[in-house]
Structure 1
């Protein structure tokens, strides 16, 4: 099938920039040509066209850090093992309806979910969304720290097992992309502060981290981590971690190190660690230093309480449908600092696509990429 789609404006998030009164030719789900409507109309006079000339067309959104298939179903619904993936697929459809066509899913190991990574993959094999999986280990900050891994599924492990060579090698082999493969800090997860008094505690020594990173790299995989706080972030940088997820509390010198080492950052303005999440000012500083930043929801997640940049007034769990909502304050600040709309939108499209290793498939509106796009009504003047 071949057709042309016209928009009031195309924000391509590429070297093509923004094209006013632009159009794209799509063939079999792939973008063939991008350009001005008048020119493409001349070049393809007999092609069926779809008129969205009252809409701005952008790449679809990419949420590269979510927990929709493992933790969310049991947090939101009274699921059974037989109905777990039914609930999970409902959550995926909810994300799709919000304009998200690609996800990065973390599989950490869960005491109530004795599913293997192969079962997660099989459950969404034919789902109309691109889903990449990060196989991880996790440490939860209960009074007695709890440790799980995607390899051991619902069975807990001891702290020293987390750096076992064979276990780490299996994590690396099965991981699609550098998600939060390891938790440098114990996480509060979705528990109340009273239930997780050890949230934030550092789990690994510097030597353990370096060995884990080396195993991932020897396997040909990049590695990401859950981390917050100056000490934890420095451990991650010294060990050679490729992607920092959260990086709440990152300092100015550490931002410079991130740039020098070519490290990517996944910012989560809604929460996710024991510290206050990434503010618009913090995200601005990362972008000003030319650090590749992606904004993600880490959903389903209770919003960090009483943040000026979040509109939420309760602690109910929020999903991927709030991605634009939590990103908007940072995007607005970047625009006020004269960043181009293509640079701003990259935080939700091209940058997270690169984190997932899918930048040659989607994240931009350019020839050769999948026709994953969304339209928003153009504001009347």
Structure 2
């Protein structure tokens, strides 16, 4: 497939910045050339043109922390093992319709799902979406703490087992990126507060956590952790955890320390831990300290109640369709502080692509990368927050969602 696509502006999230009256040449699923429309059209006078000159083109979105294939199907639908992945495919289609063409998916182990990483990989193999998997262990804050791992699947393990070097090594070897490889705090998951009274309880001692981090690093792997609260974050920073997922309740001193250590943060403004999630002002502080930060949904998830930046009035589970909505307050705050729209949009595109190890594949619009892009009424998250304002979604140059 070879064509030219034109828009009133292209926000490239690359060194090219924003191109007014921009155009891209798409060839065999990749961006072959990008620049000013008149110049490129003059160079290729006979090429087919898709005219989107009333709209904005941006990279498609990357949600780097999700639970769409393991926990969401049983939470949203009355599925059995035979229909679990039918629900999974429906959920992935919903993500695509929300402008998301790449995911960072967690495989934690689930009491009702005896599936392997390979089973989850098969689901997305023939779909127009890129999924990178993190294999993990998980601790859920029920009255009796429940522990599972991606390796042991539906069979629960003990808290002691979570630090077993052999099991840790098996999890680490299968993990493709630093997702929630371990849960330093017991998670509320997507349960109500009454169901998980021990959510937030710290699971690891410092020496246990240090041994786990060392195993990942010896294998040449970066490690990420679910963590919240000053004590848990101190444990993570002191042990050399590479990526803090959530980091709810982080202090200014800890932000300074994370910046010095080169720690990455995945912010989840909708929730995901026992504490109030990342406020827009907190995300601004991360950016001001040059901490690589991505914004993610952690979906499917009930939104945290009592925040000033979330519009939700109930605790119904929210999915990938709210990524732009929950990111918008922080993105608008960054704009007020004179950050460039390309740097702002990177929180939903290039930064999470880097975390997934895919920044040489997608996340920006530049020659040689995959043609994964959106045609929208405005810049996702910054100027628009409703998915019907995304008119087209392209994956590897092929239009897969069409609202025009």
User: SS of the residue aligned with 1:159?
Assistant: coil
Residue 318, structure 1, aligned to residue 330, structure 2: no
Provide the rounded CA distance (Å) in 2 between the counterparts of 1:290 and 1:326.
21
Matches within 5 A, 1:84-99: 84-99=84-99
Provide the rounded CA distance (Å) in 2 between the counterparts of 1:87 and 1:217.
36
For 1:117, the equivalent position in structure 2 comes to 117
Q: TM-score, normalised by structure 2?
A: 0.93
Provide the rounded CA distance (Å) in 2 between the counterparts of 1:328 and 1:15.
23
Provide the rounded CA distance (Å) in 2 between the counterparts of 1:128 and 1:227.
32
Q: Is the contact made by 2:142 and 2:195 (CA closer than 8 Å) also made in structure 1?
A: yes
User: SS of the residue aligned with 2:222?
Assistant: coil
Residue 144, structure 1, aligned to residue 154, structure 2: no
Matches within 5 A, 1:272-287: 272-287=272-287
Q: Is the contact made by 2:124 and 2:130 (CA closer than 8 Å) also made in structure 1?
A: no
What are the Cα deviations for residues 113-172 of structure 1, in whole angstroms up to 9, with x where unaligned? 011111111222212100000000000111111100000000000001001111111111
Residue 305, structure 1, aligned to residue 305, structure 2: yes
For 1:168, the equivalent position in structure 2 comes to 168
For 2:104, the equivalent position in structure 1 comes to 104
Provide the rounded CA distance (Å) in 1 between the counterparts of 2:45 and 2:214.
56
For 2:18, the equivalent position in structure 1 comes to 18
Provide the rounded CA distance (Å) in 2 between the counterparts of 1:243 and 1:208.
17
Provide the rounded CA distance (Å) in 1 between the counterparts of 2:123 and 2:29.
24
Gaps of 5+ in 1: none
- Matched pairs, number: 379
What are the Cα deviations for residues 83-140 of structure 1, in whole angstroms up to 9, with x where unaligned? 0000011000000001000001001000000111111112222121000000000001
Provide the rounded CA distance (Å) in 1 between the counterparts of 2:180 and 2:30.
31
For 2:43, the equivalent position in structure 1 comes to 43
For 2:248, the equivalent position in structure 1 comes to 248
Residue 346, structure 1, aligned to residue 340, structure 2: no
For 1:260, the equivalent position in structure 2 comes to 260
Provide the rounded CA distance (Å) in 2 between the counterparts of 1:257 and 1:32.
41
What are the Cα deviations for residues 1-38 of structure 1, in whole angstroms up to 9, with x where unaligned? 21111010000001100010011111001001111111
For 1:357, the equivalent position in structure 2 comes to 357
Provide the rounded CA distance (Å) in 1 between the counterparts of 2:331 and 2:220.
34
Shift of 1:260: 1.2
Shift of 1:45: 1.3
Provide the rounded CA distance (Å) in 2 between the counterparts of 1:95 and 1:55.
21
User: SS of the residue aligned with 2:287?
Assistant: helix
For 2:400, the equivalent position in structure 1 comes to none
Provide the rounded CA distance (Å) in 2 between the counterparts of 1:222 and 1:208.
17
Matches within 5 A, 1:56-67: 56-67=56-67
For 1:190, the equivalent position in structure 2 comes to 190
For 2:224, the equivalent position in structure 1 comes to 224
Shift of 1:237: 0.7
Q: TM-score, normalised by structure 1?
A: 0.98
Give runs of ≥4 in structure 1 deviating > 4 Å.
Answer: none
For 1:133, the equivalent position in structure 2 comes to 133
Q: Is the contact made by 2:228 and 2:275 (CA closer than 8 Å) also made in structure 1?
A: yes
Shift of 1:306: 2.4
Gaps of 5+ in 2: 384-404
User: SS of the residue aligned with 2:358?
Assistant: coil
For 2:270, the equivalent position in structure 1 comes to 270
Provide the rounded CA distance (Å) in 1 between the counterparts of 2:211 and 2:16.
42
Q: Is the contact made by 2:3 and 2:48 (CA closer than 8 Å) also made in structure 1?
A: yes
Provide the rounded CA distance (Å) in 2 between the counterparts of 1:297 and 1:253.
26
Shift of 1:377: 2.1
Provide the rounded CA distance (Å) in 1 between the counterparts of 2:184 and 2:124.
29
Provide the rounded CA distance (Å) in 2 between the counterparts of 1:252 and 1:4.
47
